[in-house]
Amino acid sequence: MAIYTKLSENNLKEFFLKYNLGKLLNYKGIQEGIENTNYFIQTDKGKFILTVYEKRVEEKDLPFFMGLMRNLFDANFPSPEPIINKNGNYITEISGKKAAVVSFLDGSSKKNLNPNDCHKVGIQAAKLHLITKNLTGKRENKLSVNFWRKIYKKVQKDCSRIHLNLTKTIEKNLDEIENNWPKNIPSGIIHADLFPDNIFF
């Protein structure tokens, strides 16, 4: 379940007064996902997704995400369109948290992907890489090799409870990976959350 921020109809009606998206007709919390709270929103002007950003998302990263989404949408990539509020901003507050509204994408996710599905996803990932290769905005991947040791340090004291040699094994593996990680290779924007529930067919 990923509805961390529970919103009432009144919360949402007040929130959508900040947008030119019409009158709220219907809303429903979306159970899928683990990072943020998402609501399906229907107004008399269309369907939208409201995302309320939870703890792990840093506020300073939101302009990057919104700009990336805008660029992808403008390049006809199958990505939602971020919607500006009446003040011309992509980010608005609700219940003391940062939030954004994007257009609704038709389709549904599959629990099990077959090879043909994976091929289609690969084609779209390649298009994303090509569309974004000249974008100037960058964001460090905080789940990549440079951060693995920091992540490990947070759980290090619990490792020996799982297995007596787990600490030694992890440290050996981290040393080996860090020493052999390729240097000076091309880099760019990736979809770092490419799980089946984030892929619509």
- Is 4 a domain residue? no
Pairwise CA distance, residues 43 & 60, whole Å: 30
- Among 70, 103, 136, the domain-final residue is 103
Tell whether 115 and 45 lie within a shared domain. Answer: no
The one-digit pLDDT tens for each residue of the chain (201 residues) are: 578 999 999 999 999 999 999 999 999 999 887 789 999 999 999 999 999 999 878 899 999 999 999 999 999 999 999 999 999 999 999 999 999 999 999 999 898 999 999 999 999 999 999 999 998 888 888 888 989 999 999 999 999 999 999 999 999 999 999 999 998 888 899 998 888 888 999
pTM of the complete model: 0.85
Closest to 37 in 3D by CA, of 67, 2, 71, 9: 2
Task: Please give the angle made by the CA atoms of 65, 69 and 93, to the nearest 5 degrees.
Answer: 55
- Is 153 a domain residue? yes
Domain that holds residue 131: 111-201
CATH, residue 77 = 3.30.200.20
- Is 40 a domain residue? yes
- Residue 32: what pLDDT? 81
Tell whether 129 and 194 lie within a shared domain. Answer: yes
